[in-house]
């Protein structure tokens, strides 16, 4: 069995052993979208949602979520995150979320970037659900991941 296998000899799930991998600067970008009614978009634009400033709260929630990824996804390694950025932008059909995550480590940071987007989108859903029962979260995806030797 490979030393980087996710299943031990006993058949139980384990974290992948990344100890032999070199430390690198790793970056990941992710995005996603929440579609909503035009009236909901207008409420967000005019900052009239009862729970407050939707875009700012979603960005902060996304950052918090990205930082907590290893607490949420059982086999993810805790990482030394050096950057976590989440940007929410309003468009005609809803809100687009983009994230950038960076770390110095031995394993990728794509799960953190994806988690940041997911949590930001779920926050928007929570803040707008009273005004819009037809919202749709879609298109959560990894856009890019890179690694550079230090």
Catalytic sites, residue numbers: 126
Closest CA to 119 of 145, 86, 76: 86
Name the DSSP letter for residue 4.
Answer: T
- Burial (CB < 10 A; 0-12, 13-18, 19+), residue 92, is exposed
On whether the CB atoms of residues 77 and 98 are closer than 8 A, the answer is no
On whether the CB atoms of residues 101 and 18 are closer than 8 A, the answer is no
């Amino acid at each position: 069995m490979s030393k980087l296998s996710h299943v031990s000899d006993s058949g139980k799930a384990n974290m992948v052993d990344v100890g032999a991998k070199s430390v690198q600067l790793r970056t990941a970008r992710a995005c996603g979208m929440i579609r909503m009614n035009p009236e909901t978009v207008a409420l967000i634009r005019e900052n009239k949602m009862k729970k407050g400033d939707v875009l700012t709260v979603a960005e902060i929630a996304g950052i918090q979520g990205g930082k907590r990824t290893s607490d949420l996804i059982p086999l993810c390694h805790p990482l030394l995150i050096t950057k976590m950025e989440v940007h929410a932008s309003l468009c005609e059909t809803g809100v687009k979320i983009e994230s950038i995550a960076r770390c110095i480590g031995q394993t990728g940071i794509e799960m953190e970037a994806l988690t940041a987007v997911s949590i930001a989108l779920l926050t928007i859903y929570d803040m707008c659900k009273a005004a819009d029962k037809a919202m749709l979260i879609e298109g959560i995806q990894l856009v890019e991941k890179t690694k550079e030797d230090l």
